[in-house]
Amino acid sequence: MVGSDITRDARGGAPDTGSLLDQALAPLRRRGLVWSLAKNDFRARYTGSLLGATWAFVQPVLTILLYLFIYQVGFRAPPPSGVPFVVWLIVGMAPWFYFVEALSTTTIAFLEYGFLVKKVLFDVAIVPSIKLVASSLVHVAVFGLVVVIVAVSGLPIRGTFLLVPYYFFALYALVAGLGLITAAIAPFFRDAVQIVAVSMQFLFWLTPVMWPISQAPPRFAQILVANPLHYVVDGLRDALLLGRPFWARPLPTLYFWAFVIVVHLIGQAMFKRLRPHLPDVL
């Protein structure tokens, strides 16, 4: 099925050149092919394992349990914003898990799909989207599970629960831009994969995911707020735990989407410049 889709795409004569807009819209124009390849990628990750796709949920659950033990039993962290710490933690960890997996897998997209990149007529602009969509398959369910946990935790059910898809889309857009940059660089500079992995360790504490930004010194807090990932994590907590919509924070919202647009422009420009040389280095 996937092979036939690739064949049809090749017959369609996907161009190797074009404007940045054409390049950016390629995944949307070929969404059927992206979806087929993403499902195949997702199945391939767990082929031969006993639990199959269940492993996609095991790591987030075990990580959350570990941090809960550390902060509830060891450090006994007080509940921020007047909500149970476990709920506050779960809401913040969900977007973080998606960000880590999506960016890490998108970074190696061209390295893993080199056989497609070398096809003369295949539109390689869709390759990063394959990994991004494959990562989204599980985490859409994770976000839904988080909403259920908040709903049964005793906190009020608010209309702002409907903003969860907005924050998922915002995170998707952010990773799509960053992932295109790292994916374009990785074939030429293989250390980029390790740099991304190490950067995640620092970014985890700079988002922040595990502690409220109100605990940071004022000057440091301003730096943390500039982190676009903080917009998603904090915004999701606002929507689910405090009933605060994203339009109540107009300046952070404008800053976030301006950042995303700039990152996409940089990524598309880098990819267009490096695209002709990809088959030579893979």
As a whole number of Å, the CA-based R_g of the chain is 20
Average pLDDT, the chain: 82
Helices 31-45 and 127-152: crossing angle in degrees, nearest 10, is 70
Chain position carrying tokens 């039993």? 73
Q: Structure tokens of 254?
A: 């404008």
Task: Report whether 256 contacts 94 (CB < 8 A).
Answer: no
CA angle 11, 16, 18 (to 5 degrees): 115
Cβ count within 10 A of residue 269:
15
Of 181, 200, 16, 215, nearest to 97 by C-alpha is 200
Q: Once rounded to an integer, what is the mean pLDDT over residues 35-51? A: 72
Query: Which of 17-21, 112-116, 172-176 bottoms out in mean pLDDT, i.e. has the lowest?
Result: 17-21
Confidence of residue 61 (pLDDT cuts 50, 70, 90): confident
pLDDT per residue over 194-222, tens digit each? 999 999 988 988 888 888 887 788 888 88
Confidence of residue 166 (pLDDT cuts 50, 70, 90): very high
Q: Once rounded to an integer, what is the mean pLDDT over residues 221-240? A: 91
| Domain positions in the chain | 20-41+52-281
Confidence of residue 267 (pLDDT cuts 50, 70, 90): very high
Render the burial of 99-138: b for 16+ CB within 10 Å, e for the rest: bbbbbbbbbbbbbbbbebbebeebbbbbbbbbbbbbbbeb
pLDDT per residue over 125-144, tens digit each? 888 888 888 888 888 888 88
Confidence of residue 98 (pLDDT cuts 50, 70, 90): very high
Q: State whether residue 187 is helix, strand or coil.
A: coil
- HSE-CB of 281 using CA atoms within 13 angstroms: 14
Predicted structure pTM score = 0.84
Q: Structure tokens of 154?
A: 């005793």
How far apart are the C-alpha atoms of 127 and 109, rounded to whole Å? Answer: 6
Confidence of residue 178 (pLDDT cuts 50, 70, 90): very high
pLDDT per residue over 64-96, tens digit each? 777 767 766 655 566 676 788 888 888 998 999
Q: What is the pLDDT of residue 240?
A: 93
Q: Once rounded to an integer, what is the mean pLDDT over residues 37-55? A: 70
Q: Structure tokens of 235?
A: 């915004």
Q: What is the pLDDT of residue 275?
A: 87
Using a pLDDT cut of 70, give the percent of the chain over it.
81
Highest mean pLDDT out of 14-23, 33-42, 140-149? 140-149
pLDDT of 4 > 60? The answer is no
